Amino acid sequence: MFRLDGKVVLISGASRGLGWGMAKSLAQQGATVCLNGRDSKTLIARSNELKEQGFQAEVVPFDVSDTDERERAIDALLKRLGKIDVLIANAGIQHRSDIENFSDADFQKVIETNLTGVWALAKSVTPSMRTNQSGRIIFTGSITASLGRATISAYIASKGGVHALARQLAVELGSSGVTVNVIAPGYFATEMNQALMSDKNFNEWVCGRVPLARWGTVDEIGAAAVFLSSDEAAYVNGHVLTVDGGFSIAM
């Protein structure tokens, strides 16, 4: 069960953090993982790391917010490999500021990457998935889509939009054999959260709030991606799979 042999998976934001954790798990289950990001050098290093372990990996560098660049890259990938079975739209950024000092430009930058970029990727892969009458689209959401936190208004707005978009697309694409789901992580030990992890008070707060009493590791996000990508998840559609160690259910 849960093998992904023969599946082609495109993962945005795959060079580090949660995207890299998912890429490793998917490759281990037999998928050909197509690593996307803006830094070709880093992507090549990650791809080589997987290939050295006997796994299948491709490098697909492009900026998700650049329409022409994205379309060219995805068209080239489809011509080269013939299909994209799974899209994991994971690329995201963060900006922290109180609302009074949050600039319009910074707000738009977060929305453009975290929400518009996700929508655009789904748009780009949908035609081939409809043609094949099969596909998996997975968005990286967040527990903050339903839990508020100070200073991250753009991030929360973007992730709330991602969760809503997944429900809408699950309805729109379901009859074509395409499922759309969300993985909503809690607090994971990633590069994006390094400053928070280094803050003694914040680290103690996270560990005290999470019933498992620790941060998640990037390797622990992979199993959720494997499940939602697999044939066994064929009837799971429009679902938000929370992976947070119990953070969101604790008082």
Please report the domains of the chain, with CATH numbers, ordered by start residue.
8-190+217-242 (3.40.50.720)
Whether 176 shows a pLDDT value over 90: the answer reads yes
Q: Which helix (H) or strand (E) element contains residue 35? A: strand 32-35
Q: What is the mean pLDDT of residues 135-163?
A: 97
pLDDT interval class at 167 (50, 70, 90): very high
What the block records as the tokens of 241 is 């799979």
CA dihedral angle for residue 142, residue 143, residue 146, residue 152, rounded to 10 degrees: -70
Q: Does the pLDDT of residue 235 top 90, yes or no?
A: yes
Distances (CA, A) of 177 to 84, 138, 171, 235, 251: 14, 14, 11, 10, 39
Order of all β-strands in the sheet with 86-89 = 56-59, 32-35, 8-11, 86-89, 135-140, 178-185, 240-243
In the block, tokens 């996700």 appear at 118
Give the residue, 161 or 65, on which the prediction is more confident. 161
| DSSP letter (8 states) at residue 138 | E
Residue 131 exposure: Cα atoms within 13 Å on the Cβ side: 10
Q: What is the DSSP string of 5-22?
A: TT-EEEETT-SSHHHHHH
Q: How confident is the model at residue 229 (pLDDT cuts 50, 70, 90)?
A: very high
Q: State yes or no: pLDDT of 191 exceeds 90.
A: no
Question: Which pair of tokens denotes residue 172?
Answer: 């729109």
Positive or negative, the CA dihedral 241, 243, 245, 250 is negative
- CA 140, CA 163: separation in Å to the nearest integer? 9
Q: Please give the Cα distance from 97 to 113 (Å, whole number).
A: 17
**pLDDT higher than threshold 90 for residue 74:** yes
Question: 14 falls in which pLDDT band (50, 70, 90)?
Answer: very high
Residue 192 has pLDDT above 90, yes or no: no
Please say if the pLDDT value at position 65 is more than 90.
no
pLDDT band at 166 (very low <50, low <70, confident <90, very high): very high
> Mean pLDDT across the stretch 40-58?
98
Cα–Cα dist 211/215, whole Å: 10
Nearest Cα residue to 161 out of 81, 60, 89 = 89
Global confidence as pTM: 0.96
| Region for 30 from its dihedrals, namely left if φ exceeds 0, alpha if ψ lies in -120 to 50, beta otherwise | left
Instruction: Give the residue-averaged pLDDT of 6-31.
Output: 97
pLDDT of residue 23 exceeding 90: yes
In sequence order, what DSSP letters do the residues of 153-182 get, joined into one string? Answer: HHHHHHHHHHHHHHHHHHHHHGGGTEEEEE
Name the residues annotated as catalytic.
155
Name the residue among 170, 94, 114, 98 with its Cα closest to residue 138: 170
What is the predicted pLDDT for the residue at 98?
A: 97
